[in-house]
Structure 1
Amino acid sequence: MSLSVLMTAALLGQSAFSLGVETPAVEKAPDVAYQELSEGQPDAALRKLEVSSAVSAGDPAALINLGSAYAASGRTDKAIASYRAAIASHDRYSLELADGSWVDSRLAARTALKRLLTATARASR
């Protein structure tokens, strides 16, 4: 009988210990200047993104938005470079677009680059 009491105490002690294990913190998504771009403020987006650690780390969402901000500011060469960096990024994931649809980050960057190059070609005619 004392053995079952001892085993119960040991099991209860293990349960209490396992409840004290910390869970990892949820990583906060980087600020990719979505609000500034959606409000038509590319210069504000550039100020935020040009110093962003997400851009320097090669985050595709930050690079795509940086390209969009450059494009809206008329800096086509920098926009093209940003979109190409997003395409080449080691990171790849699904992004939610402004219309609520989800798309692969590389496809989003390729689509943005294609639209920019098409618009640039039309403007040069």
Structure 2
Amino acid sequence: MSFQSADNTDRGAEGRTTDDAASGKTWYEEFTVSGGQALDKVKELIAEGNVRRLFIKNSDGRVLLEVPLTAGVAVTAVTAVIAPALVAVGAVAAFLAQVTIGVERVRPQLEGTPESGGDGPQDG
């Protein structure tokens, strides 16, 4: 998978968007943070709930860690399951001045949205 580069300090830039037959659309964002802030940012992203995968990259763009996440799993369950990965994130980030966190997200489908275009409001 190729990554779109974005140099944004602690804020995302919407990247590429792809169709996913199982769950609608996915898109990719990157956040550049200091090594000390990486673990907090990863926890924040997991808590948002629409993250499918996380990538931790060094300043050269090399992927150091990839963490797949399952959409719809409770945050506490995800945190418990990936606790070893979170420890790895902290350990890796402690040695780096700056890391890039890549996030593949799933765009949630709106509930109650009609499949067709709909007829619009009706006068009665």
TM-score, length of structure 1 as denominator length: 0.29
- The structure with the greater share of residues assigned to strand is 2
Higher relative contact order, structure no. (Cα contacts within 8 Å, ≥ 6 residues apart): 2
Q: Rg: which structure is higher?
A: 1
